[in-house]
Structure formats: structure tokens, C-alpha cells
């Protein structure tokens, strides 16, 4: 007797299977959150609404850990680099205590995060280094907009900063999430060309289940990103939404679609992060990512020490460990600047060379060949605090090249 197959049933099962697989991705932030009440929650994590993947960056100001401060006090005491005047201790020979510097790091480099105060956290990196970040945005401290974990047993939970004892990050494999698939596409700008990568819209929406809202004439509309093919700016007050079926909808009266938009973030593993403001934005074309665009926790190692050769304007060359701008010394750290109105955060591990063009700008060349002329940042102009090169085994034996004398740097290949 021949077995009759219900084609409708088969198609229905296939659709259910495809739908369930569509939300499984390797790139999601994953870990265990240990709470102050003794609970242990495990699952994919969405941080401050707009970070949920390993290449997303946590922003803050880098400060010295207690251990580093103790070492510095010991060092300057041993070196006799203290002067006491009227009971006040003044340090000389470069013993600066203004140690707070703007910084950011991809979640993939972090092994453990421990809240240290109401506005800061200790990050234990995969390479064993500790970084102390304090808040300069909503990414850290009590100002975090939300920390959501999708626990397999308890479902979706939203936590406050004070709920967290510490977090351990690790590879969660193919993670299924109710948030949907990550948004990917190409952003076209008015003067700086195109940028392709993972998209975070309005510094907020980043998944296919997230919603773009606005007013269509007299009706309020909420459209999931999974339905959208293209977003095109019409003016400072409105945008054209093109759905996958071809239908066009004009939306206004919302910061999702007008000049109130807080920025379109493009994450590119081979570069870093780009933020396009509304004035420079022209359009976003949503598309399917290539397999090579996905990232995993294993793609990040905690950041290696920067090595390279620095050339001064007299042609002298100095090779060794690099501390750029007297601050950045690991591959996970970022060089920031503006290019034709677009804000860049380029991870040093992706930089091949930096060439000074003038007092106010530099040319940055990436390992993949792309070049950008950046300005308006002390990383790339004459506000730079110096390029330090440890040329020998003694870490205190450093050459310092001021910006006026700097010509270029060539980093050692990763």
C-alpha cells in the first residue's frame, strides 16, 4: 500500500523548521550572570539595548585598576620621584595621575565582567589583563538602559546594574533567540561613500524583530525590520520605507525616520565601528550577510601587545612595543577620528599603517587595503600625547616621538 503524503503538512513542517533555524546564530553574546541573590542565569545577553553580538563594543573611560595604581605608587617611591610641599605629594618625571581616557572594547575579548561601583566595572580579558572602565555612556553603571538575558529555564529576564554580582562570558554555540536575526546591510552616505556591515539603527534597533515606527499620513505605523528592504531619507523630517514586496511607505514624526535619529552604527570586523549621523545618511539597503561576516567568541583573543616601527621626520626608525597617544597599547583598543563627517572607531589590530598628513590629520591604512583620512581626534592630530616605543627588554627604556617629529608607523602583522 502506497503511503500518501500530505503536501500541506510537509510544507508547514518545513516552514516551522526554517523559522526556528533562522534565529540561530553563533555571534551572540552569551554567558552566565551571577546575581546578588545567588541565582545563576545562562543564555544570550542583550546589553543596553544595542549590544548583543561579540563584535559589539562596550564604551567607557579606561582608568587604572587598584593593582596598577599600587604598582605605580611603588615604582615612583622606589625611583624617588616624589616631592612633598606643605604636606602635599607632587610627582615628577611623567608620573601623571590623570589616568582616565576614552575607550571601548568588543565583548568578544572579555572573559569576566564584575561591577566595581555604580558607574564602573572590572573587565578580565581572555589574555589575563584587567581593564577598569567607568561610565561615559549608558553602557556601564546604573545608567544602563537594560540588561536582558534569555535563560532557558526562566525565560527572558531584565536585570538592573545592582542585580549583578558578576558575568562570565563564553561561546554559546548556535544560539536561538526571540530577538530574531541580526540586521545587515549597506549604508550610503552623502560624502563618505558606502559602508557595509552589521547595522544598529538609531543606536537602538539591531534585530529583525525590532521595530521602526512613524506616522503614515494620519496613521501610526510599526514595521518590523524583517519586512524592510530599503530605508531612504527624504528630508530632515521623513523617510521612505520600501518593503520586501515592493510597497513604499512614507513615514515621519518619529526619531526613527527623521533628524532626531541618534545615528546608524555599522559594525565591521575588519575595521571596527562607524557611526553615521542623519545629516550624512542617504539610504540603507538591507541584505543577507555572507558567511565570512559572522563572528564567534573564538575570533577574539583579548588583544595582543602592539608592535611596530615608528619613523620620525628625520628618517630615524624605532622598533618595539608601541603605546599610541600614551594610552593605547593592545590590539583591542581603538583609534578614533572623523572622515567626511563620519565617526570612526578603528581597532588597532586592523591597522597596517598611520601616516601624518598635517598637524590636523592622518591617513590610516587597514590590512585589507582600505584607506581613510581622519581628523578631529587627539589620536590623529597634534593633540596626540606622543608615541612611546619600548625598544628593549626593559619596559622603562622607551623612546618618545612627539607629533611634531612623527612621520609614520608601520605595525607588525597580526
Locate the domains of the chain by residue range: 25-64+99-176, 184-297, 304-411
Predicted confidence (pLDDT) per residue in 364-376, tens digit: 999 999 999 999 9
Tell me, what's the pLDDT at 339?
A: 93
Predicted confidence (pLDDT) per residue in 201-214, tens digit: 999 999 999 999 99
Q: Residue 396 — very low, low, confident or very high, per pLDDT cuts 50/70/90?
A: confident
The residues, ordered by sequence, that sit 6+ positions from 92 with a Cβ below 8 Å of its Cβ are: 81, 83
Predicted confidence (pLDDT) per residue in 138-156, tens digit: 899 999 999 999 998 999 9
The residues, ordered by sequence, that sit 6+ positions from 201 with a Cβ below 8 Å of its Cβ are: 183, 210, 212, 225, 231, 256, 261, 264, 284
Tell me, what's the pLDDT at 169?
A: 98
CA 80 to chain centre: 40
Q: How far apart are the first and last CA of the chain?
A: 65
Predicted confidence (pLDDT) per residue in 98-131, tens digit: 345 789 999 999 999 999 999 999 999 999 999 9
CA 58 → CA 28, 110, 133, distances in Å?
14, 10, 9
Can you list the alpha helix ranges (DSSP code H) found in 213-288?
Answer: none
pLDDT reading at 395 higher than 80 = no
Tell me, what's the pLDDT at 122?
A: 97
Please give the mean pLDDT across all residues of the chain: 87
pLDDT reading at 83 higher than 70 = no
Q: Residue 24 — very low, low, confident or very high, per pLDDT cuts 50/70/90?
A: low
Region 283-299 average pLDDT = 92
The Cα–Cα gap between 320 and 399 comes to 10
CA torsion through residues 271, 269, 243, 156, sign: negative
The Cα–Cα gap between 156 and 150 comes to 4
Predicted confidence (pLDDT) per residue in 29-44, tens digit: 999 999 999 999 999 9
Tell me, what's the pLDDT at 124?
A: 98
CA 109 → CA 64, 147, 156, 179, 205, distances in Å?
18, 19, 25, 23, 23
Structure-model confidence comparison of residues 330 and 69, the more confident one: 330
Region 341-355 average pLDDT = 97
Region 296-323 average pLDDT = 95
Region 14-19 average pLDDT = 41
Tell me, what's the pLDDT at 6?
A: 52
Tell me, what's the pLDDT at 188?
A: 98
Q: Residue 2 — very low, low, confident or very high, per pLDDT cuts 50/70/90?
A: very low
pLDDT reading at 77 higher than 50 = no
pLDDT reading at 285 higher than 90 = yes
Tell me, what's the pLDDT at 243?
A: 98
Tell me the sheet residues that pair with 90: 83
Tell me, what's the pLDDT at 131?
A: 95
Amino acid at each position: 500500500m502506497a503511503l500518501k503524503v500530505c503536501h500541506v503538512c510537509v510544507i508547514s513542517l518545513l516552514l516551522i523548521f526554517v523559522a526556528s533555524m533562522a534565529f540561530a546564530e553563533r555571534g551572540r553574546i552569551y554567558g552566565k550572570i551571577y546575581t546578588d541573590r545567588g541565582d545563576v542565569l545562562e543564555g544570550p545577553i542583550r546589553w543596553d539595548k544595542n549590544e548583543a553580538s561579540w563584535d559589539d563594543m562596550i564604551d567607557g573611560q579606561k582608568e587604572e585598576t587598584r593593582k596598577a595604581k599600587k604598582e605605580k605608587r611603588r615604582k615612583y617611591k622606589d625611583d624617588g620621584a616624589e616631592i612633598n610641599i606643605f604636606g602635599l605629594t607632587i610627582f615628577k618625571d611623567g608620573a601623571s595621575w590623570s589616568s582616565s581616557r576614552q575607550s571601548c572594547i568588543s565583548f568578544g575579548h572579555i572573559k569576566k565582567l564584575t561591577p566595581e561601583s555604580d558607574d564602573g566595572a572590572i573587565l578580565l580579558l581572555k589574555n589575563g589583563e584587567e581593564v577598569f572602565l567607568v561610565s561615559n555612556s549608558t553602557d556601564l553603571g546604573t545608567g544602563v538602559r537594560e540588561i536582558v538575558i534569555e535563560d532557558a529555564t526562566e525565560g527572558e529576564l531584565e536585570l538592573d546594574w545592582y542585580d549583578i554580582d558578576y558575568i562570565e562570558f563564553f561561546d554559546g554555540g548556535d544560539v536561538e533567540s526571540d530577538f530574531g536575526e541580526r540586521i545587515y546591510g549597506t549604508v550610503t552616505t552623502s560624502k563618505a561613500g558606502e559602508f557595509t556591515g552589521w547595522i544598529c539603527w538609531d543606536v537602538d534597533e539591531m534585530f529583525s524583530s525590532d521595530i521602526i515606527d512613524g506616522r503614515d499620513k494620519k496613521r501610526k505605523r510599526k514595521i518590523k525590520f524583517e519586512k524592510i528592504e530599503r530605508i531612504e531619507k527624504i528630508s530632515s523630517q521623513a523617510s521612505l520605507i520600501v518593503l520586501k514586496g515592493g510597497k513604499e511607505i512614507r513615514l515621519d514624526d518619529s526619531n526613527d525616520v527623521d533628524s532626531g535619529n541618534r545615528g546608524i552604527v555599522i559594525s565591521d570586523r575588519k575595521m571596527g565601528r562607524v557611526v553615521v549621523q542623519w545629516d550624512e545618511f542617504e539610504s540603507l539597503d538591507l541584505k543577507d550577510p555572507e558567511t565570512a561576516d559572522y563572528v564567534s567568541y573564538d575570533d577574539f583573543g583579548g588583544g595582543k601587545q602592539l608592535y611596530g616601527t615608528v619613523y620620525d621626520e628625520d628618517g630615524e626608525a624605532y622598533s618595539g612595543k608601541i603605546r599610541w597617544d600614551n594610552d593605547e597599547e593592545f590590539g583591542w583598543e581603538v583609534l578614533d577620528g572623523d572622515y567626511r563627517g563620519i565617526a570612526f572607531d578603528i581597532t588597532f589590530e586592523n591597522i597596517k599603517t598611520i601616516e601624518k598628513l598635517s598637524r590636523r590629520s592622518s591617513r590610516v591604512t587597514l590590512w585589507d587595503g582600505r584607506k581613510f583620512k581622519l581628523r578631529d581626534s587627539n589620536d590623529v592630530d597634534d593633540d596626540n600625547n606622543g608615541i612611546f616605543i619600548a625598544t628593549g627588554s626593559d619596559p622603562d627604556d622607551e623612546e618618545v616621538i612627539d607629533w611634531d617629529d612623527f612621520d609614520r608607523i608601520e605595525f607588525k602583522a597580526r
